[in-house]
Structure 1
Amino acid sequence: MRKISILLGLWLVLLPEWIVRLFYAGRLPVVDGRRIDPKSHAVSQLVQRIRGDSGMPSVEESRAQLATLAARFDRPCPADIAKTDITLPGADGPRIARIYVAKGSDAFGAQPTLLYLHGGGWVQGDIQTHNGLCGQLARDAGIRVISYDYRLAPEHKFPAAVNDVLACYRALTLGTGPAALNASQLVVGGDSAGANLTAALMHDLATSGDPMPAAQLLIYPAVDAALDTASMRDLRDQPLLPRQRIDWFMDHYIPNGQDRFDPRISPLRSDRLPGQPPALIIAGGHDALWCDGHDYADALKSAGVPVTLLEYPGQIHAFLSLRRVIPQGVDAERRISDWLRTALKG
């Protein structure tokens, strides 16, 4: 029966949006006035059926699950985008990175660039799970994208990933890496844990006095380890990112005895927000991190930082990585690309 239920769920996910909307007519969950998008609800139910009641997976199983989800439900990298795998410095040796540019373009010269940090709870994800999104951003924004493979927990706990990102940023902006640029040509961004690492990088740059990038892109960011927001409570059982899984990620990432309110873990608590570059923040209303995005937008604005907040009240966590089946993911990607072109113009 479970296999049949999963197959039915997969069939529903792949149907056109208008049919799914009719199927769920009058039966879509509402949280604090925000009704879930019908395709996102179908994906949520499918994930719930696949995971079942078996408890938390092993680290290896979790990584495989994300890779499978991305392969099946994200759009592929556009065919007219060239990919080049390179290495860039990390804090403890070289790390893999991937450059995306239009075919026939120079992959290594100075040019507008997005340094992208993938999501995955600091435990899973890599440049391949975000291959389609990075390629699409490169194409639609008309820029170079560099996707960076920082170290993952639990093999490498905090602050390994944060230190890797800082080492990579310095290599790019100081010209010691293979891709040339200066800070004014660079936007740093990522989704979920990658957005957390982006915000932590801004704290580090403000602390060290390194040049800031042109802008920062924060897609459903995790910015406060207190985990006590209204959306964290209201959406604790949302299948894509339930509270149990958030706790599991953080326990793998943060060493025993580490202060979880360190601003390199909880950037919302940073005292270095003034002077940071303009930010674009994406928030989904059926994501436990909905309030994190809003709280961070408010904090940056209070510090005098220009902020654009794009709200998707019906969306779930990771919807930008599910663009094959969630149309609003396509819309969000295009709006991000428009913002990137403006942020990097001139």
Structure 2
Amino acid sequence: MPLIPEAAAFLDQLAKQNLPPMETLPIEVTRRALAIGAKPAPNPPVLRQVQNLLIKRPDGTDLPIRIYLPTTSTPLAACLYFHGGGWVLNSVDTHDDLVRRLAAASDSVFVSVEYRLAPEHKYPAAAEDAYTALQWVYNHAAELGCHPDRIVMSGDSAGANLAAAACLMTRDRNGPKVAFQVLIYPITDCNFETPSYIANAKGYFLTRSEMMWFWKHYVSSPEQMHEAYASPLRAESLQGLPPAFVITAEFDPLRDEGEVYAAALRAAGVDATVRRYDGMIHAFMRRVQQFETAKIAIQEVADYLRRGFRS
């Protein structure tokens, strides 16, 4: 189907700005622009508390997290969230509004993780931060008002990649059990030749060249791109992973790898649900002010979790 009107209007407005390609700008320039744009959204949902905290990595350094407590005294689940940005950009601040809305809609505790960014910290630093945060939530579930068997790994784009990688890590390391994974337009592979990469190479917000640029900054060598914790689709086995809810967008270079990952999970005996948003583009969910569809998707995530924990 064609772009839905709200997505077309957003892209038209973006085109009129005539911005240079992101991959041609210094990283710090883009990071500063994103930080400036990360202003509190109007009419935020009501939460009981939002708290910034520092937890410890295995080497003793600090890993910042932000905890969102819903109004209910008995949260549905404890959900870790990892922001998108190609492992290079963004922060808990840029995704603050989205995570607030997910916490409120699902009546769940959300823990947003300020993982280390590339290229200053190459793979697998961010993935290891995701696993460290998972261990912390498991060990502190009671303090968060949740049971340790109700932990969810979630994220968007590169953050969904980290969520998926951490699910593989905890399976491989006999770590904390994860109940569900919510992967929002995830990066699951390093194949730039899929039909969705070719059809949506440019003109739909996220571009093929940007993704190649992100990967170049994330890994230290091309060989690392094929490792399972970088490209979860390339894992030798996907058996034993938690059930997944995968959101994709029709006009997104990452569409196919998200849907193929869900199919691979099902082939490995893992329950996986795909929800493709036709007519929509990458990163739509955190643009609630522009896209009514974002509100629908947030509620769908909440509904998926409610159904999952009732069963």
**TM-score normalised according to structure 1 size:** 0.82
Where do 5+ consecutive residues of structure 1 fail to align? 1-33
After TM superposition, give the deviation of residue 89 of structure 1 in Å: 2.9
Q: Which amino acid aligns with 1:99?
A: I
After TM superposition, give the deviation of residue 210 of structure 1 in Å: 1.7
After TM superposition, give the deviation of residue 238 of structure 1 in Å: 2.8
Q: Which amino acid aligns with 2:117?
A: L
**Cα gap change, 1:236 to 1:43, in 2 (>3 Å):** same
The equivalent position to 1:194 in structure 2, one of 152, 159, 162, is 159
Q: Distance in 1 between matches of 2:176 and 2:265?
A: 18
**Cα gap change, 1:313 to 1:187, in 2 (>3 Å):** same
Between 46-55 and 141-150, the greater mean CA deviation after superposition: 46-55
Instruction: List aligned pairs for 1:290-305, cutoff 5 A.
Output: 290-305=255-270
Number of positions where the alignment pairs a residue of Structure 1 with one of Structure 2: 309
Aligned to 2:15: 48
Q: Which amino acid aligns with 1:314?
A: G
Instruction: List aligned pairs for 1:166-185, cutoff 5 A.
Output: 166-175=131-140, 179=144, 181-185=146-150
Q: Deviations over 1:103-141 (max 9, x none)?
A: 5858xxx86211111111101111111111111111111
Instruction: List aligned pairs for 1:206-225, cutoff 5 A.
Output: 206-225=171-190
After TM superposition, give the deviation of residue 270 of structure 1 in Å: 0.8
The equivalent position to 2:3 in structure 1, one of 36, 39, 59, is 36
Q: Considering only CA atoms, is the larger Rg found in Structure 1 or Structure 2? A: 1
Aligned to 1:255: 220
RMSD: 2.4
Matched-pair contact (CA < 8 Å) for 1:91–1:160: no
Q: Which amino acid aligns with 2:185?
A: Y
Aligned to 1:125: 90
Q: Which amino acid aligns with 1:253?
A: Y
Q: Which amino acid aligns with 1:200?
A: A
Q: Which amino acid aligns with 1:214?
A: A
Q: Distance in 2 between matches of 1:272 and 1:212?
A: 17
1:288 matched to 2:253: yes
1:336 matched to 2:301: yes
Q: Deviations over 1:304-325 (max 9, x none)?
A: 1111111101110000011111
Percent sequence identity is 31
Q: Which amino acid aligns with 2:49?
A: A
Between 51-60 and 249-258, the greater mean CA deviation after superposition: 51-60
After TM superposition, give the deviation of residue 171 of structure 1 in Å: 2.2
Q: Distance in 2 between matches of 1:257 and 1:341?
A: 40
Instruction: List aligned pairs for 1:13-28, cutoff 5 A.
Output: none
Matched-pair contact (CA < 8 Å) for 1:207–1:272: no
Q: Deviations over 1:121-166 (max 9, x none)?
A: 1011111111111111111111111111110111111111011111
Q: Which amino acid aligns with 1:84?
A: Q
The equivalent position to 1:137 in structure 2, one of 102, 108, 111, is 102
The equivalent position to 1:78 in structure 2, one of 42, 45, 69, is 45
After TM superposition, give the deviation of residue 172 of structure 1 in Å: 2.1
**Cα gap change, 1:309 to 1:69, in 2 (>3 Å):** farther
Matched-pair contact (CA < 8 Å) for 1:278–1:306: yes
**TM-score normalised according to structure 2 size:** 0.91
The equivalent position to 2:81 in structure 1, one of 113, 116, 125, is 116
After TM superposition, give the deviation of residue 44 of structure 1 in Å: 1.7
Q: Distance in 1 between matches of 2:76 and 2:306?
A: 12
**Cα gap change, 1:166 to 1:182, in 2 (>3 Å):** farther
Q: Distance in 1 between matches of 2:170 and 2:117?
A: 22
Between 168-177 and 262-271, the greater mean CA deviation after superposition: 168-177
SS of 2:298's equivalent in the other structure is helix
